Amino acid sequence: MTQIDLRSDTVTRPSPEMRQKMAEAEVGDDVYGEDPTVNRLQEMAAELLGFEAGLFVPSGSMGNQVAIWSHTESGQEVIVEKQSHVYNYELGTMSAFSGVTPRPIPSEDGTLDVEEIKKEINPDKYYLPETGLITLENTHNNQGGKVYPYEGIREVIDFADERDLPVHLDGARLFNASVASGTKPSKIVEGFSSVMFCLSKGLGAPVGSMLVGSEEFIEKALVGRKRFGGGMRQVGILAAAGIYALENNVERLAEDHENAEKLWKELKELGFELNPDPVETNIFFARTDSIGVNAKDLADFLKDKGIVIGPRNEREIRFVTHLDVTEDDIDQAIAGIKDYLAG
């Protein structure tokens, strides 16, 4: 039975057309910088976002962590939003591998208030840790795919410029933010010191993320990637999937957003408490205790119908749409949830 998988946009499978491009890819040893397909993808990503250079990395986590390693020195602090992926789901790697401490700032909606950032930067005293980097996340996973407002980004970047601080963007779902807001990706990322975005989420590639920045930054990141065990060889077969994804799967993210909205509206009518309200991109969270439903029981019920959802605990489910979920699949998921509630 084919499954309707609403757990994450990481579950997408490469399409026959993408596989064809992968099979035909020209390859070489990328540790020697000799894989023409990887080189093409790196140039393409850099150009698309308005940066000097790009680097293909195996995962989003590695991209973020290589960026942190490249921007900071051991003993420094990194300002992060408290619900961010770099802080919560990357296993303390910034401390383990880069020797830096995260300085988390809580927020209502995943965006950082510049006044709060100011408070978290230590005065210039030799016995206090120095801030080495600020990271932002757009769209924000733990806030249900919320788009970081453009003005909010500018405020953080202007402040960081004044203090001569680098700012890294975890843009795992940058293209979702771009499509939802109608803002070019290169405009969203203007002024950042580095950006990571994922090819293997909504864009539908099987593996891989990109890091972009200045030439100097990417030279350093190349060392970091090798040190973290991410130097890859004839990896053009994966880069070809990334090129295909960038050429074919960006604009269609709008369909994922429409599907998420359809599901969101139905669940709202059924009485689920939803975050964000309204839904902005391809992710949202549904509180099931608001209607007396156990999220895990609902997940078990739907699984038997070939619908896979991701309860975080007994009270909350994350729903994510992506290119392997059609409008018809959404209708089936809604029907399944209604069946559960009726029974």
Helix (H) or strand (E) holding 17, with range, is helix 16-24
Name the site residues for ligand TLP (rule: CB under 6 A).
Answer: 8, 10, 59-61, 64, 85, 89, 137, 141, 170, 172, 198, 200, 209
Answer whether 122's CB lies under 8 Å from 97's CB. no
Toward ligand TLP, which CB reaches closer, 106 or 129? 106
Tokens of 116: 């709060």
> Minimum distance from CB of 124 to ligand TLP (Å)?
32
> Minimum distance from CB of 218 to ligand TLP (Å)?
19
> Minimum distance from CB of 321 to ligand TLP (Å)?
12
Toward ligand TLP, which CB reaches closer, 178 or 200? 200
Torsion of CA 62, 68, 70, 75, to 10 degrees: -130
Toward ligand TLP, which CB reaches closer, 172 or 240? 172
Toward ligand TLP, which CB reaches closer, 131 or 282? 282
Contacts of 126 (CB under 8 A, 6+ apart): none
Toward ligand TLP, which CB reaches closer, 75 or 246? 246
Answer whether 73's CB lies under 8 Å from 91's CB. no
Between CA 53 and CA 200 the distance in angstroms is 20
Between CA 29 and CA 94 the distance in angstroms is 29
> Minimum distance from CB of 317 to ligand TLP (Å)?
13
Task: Name the residue with the smallest CB distance to ligand TLP.
Answer: 60
Toward ligand TLP, which CB reaches closer, 60 or 132? 60
Q: List the beta bridge partners of residue 320.
A: 283
> Minimum distance from CB of 225 to ligand TLP (Å)?
14
User: Rounded to whole angstroms, what are the CA distances from 85 to 4, 123, 137, 153, 218?
Assistant: 25, 27, 8, 17, 22
Dihedral pair phi/psi, residue 140, rounded to 5°: -95, 115
